[in-house]
Amino acid sequence: MRMRPTLSWTPTGEPLAATASLDEVTEVLTAGGVLVLSGAGLSTESGIPDYRGDTGSLRRHTPMTYQEFVSSEDGRQRYWARSHLGWRTIARAQPNSGHFAVTQLQARGYLSGVLTQNVDGLHQAAGTSDVVELHGSLDWVICLGCKRTSPREDLDRRLRAANPGFTAEATHINPDGDVELPADAVRQFVVVDCVECGGVLKPDVVFFGENVPAERVRRCYQLVDSAEAVLVLGSSLTVMSGLRFVRHAAKADKPVLIVNHSPTRGDSHARVRVALPLGLALTDLARRLPDRLR
């Protein structure tokens, strides 16, 4: 399935009334078997903005699309110049209390799995295991020619060597690792190719307009099928790549619970939407729920 570059959505029908109570979420989590689906809102307390919140990055920039990346040499130069600086910022980001609370809930046996739309690796940095990264990871690079993957650290060293005088200041970090740079700084930037075949290098993440790998999609559906409920954390569910799993759960009469400040595209499928800061809400949930046997 192709991930459509949907940047916004218009709510229809009667909105789901938000609540500040975690009682219903606590009740469902107590029974266990809950699949977490997390989005960019979970990482905002780590200094990485989301796409569509009150200060979301889409208010000031349009993300790189797969079509532009593969068809435009100038587009790739712009992306890599900006991402070269942005990745360093994301690589330095630390998990916040929300990430650590998810790790606690997993360790205590309340979760059946963790599926994230984020590409920042902060779930894993907090100690969460077996995380399925729906949109890939900024820590890896793939060659579009030979399909070889390599660590982003290796590419970072090569880009530093190819651009010894590149001293532009990064501003306005975005969830995909992109930053805003002046055009003259971008024009100075030297892009490097695959060391094996000379092909085009791309971060091993799913761009807007790109396919999520079919096997990864199948695995995510399996996680939904094996779960008792789905808990959405910090996602507007605007793009179909995440919304489809919420719809799948609802069609199977599995409870969908959402913790997100703003209305989401999945509200019509949800039992409840809790409008609380994620760090506060998840820490409270972890405090409420004792250790339990798996």
One domain, residues 240 and 177: no
Name the DSSP letter for residue 171. B
Question: Per the structure block, which two tokens stand in for 244?
Answer: 């489809």
Amino acid at site 200:
V
Within-domain flag for 276: yes
Query: Is residue 177 a known part of a binding site?
Result: no
pLDDT tens, per residue, the chain with 294 residues: 334 445 555 666 677 889 999 999 999 999 999 999 999 999 999 988 875 455 444 444 567 899 999 999 999 999 999 999 888 888 889 999 999 999 999 999 999 999 999 999 999 999 999 999 999 999 999 999 999 999 999 999 999 999 998 876 666 677 677 788 888 888 989 999 999 999 999 999 999 889 899 999 999 999 999 999 999 999 999 989 999 999 999 999 999 999 999 999 999 999 999 999 999 999 999 999 988 755
Q: How many domains does the chain have?
A: 2
Query: Is residue 40 a known part of a binding site?
Result: yes
Within-domain flag for 233: yes
Within-domain flag for 12: no
- What CATH code is carried by the domain that includes residue 273? 3.40.50.1220
Query: Is 135 marked active-site?
Result: yes
pTM confidence score: 0.89
One domain, residues 61 and 156: yes
Within-domain flag for 160: yes
One domain, residues 104 and 22: yes
Q: Which of 135, 172, 248, 269 is catalytic?
A: 135
Question: Per the structure block, which two tokens stand in for 120?
Answer: 């920042």
Domain range for 231 is 1-6+17-48+95-135+211-294
Query: Is residue 184 a known part of a binding site?
Result: no
One domain, residues 161 and 289: no
The 10s digit of each residue's pLDDT in 189-235 is 999 999 999 999 999 999 988 989 999 999 999 999 999 999 999 99
Query: Is residue 235 a known part of a binding site?
Result: yes
Query: What stretches of 130-271 adopt beta strand conformation (E)?
Result: 131-133, 136-143, 149-151, 201-205, 229-233, 256-259
- What CATH code is carried by the domain that includes residue 73? 3.30.1600
Within-domain flag for 11: no
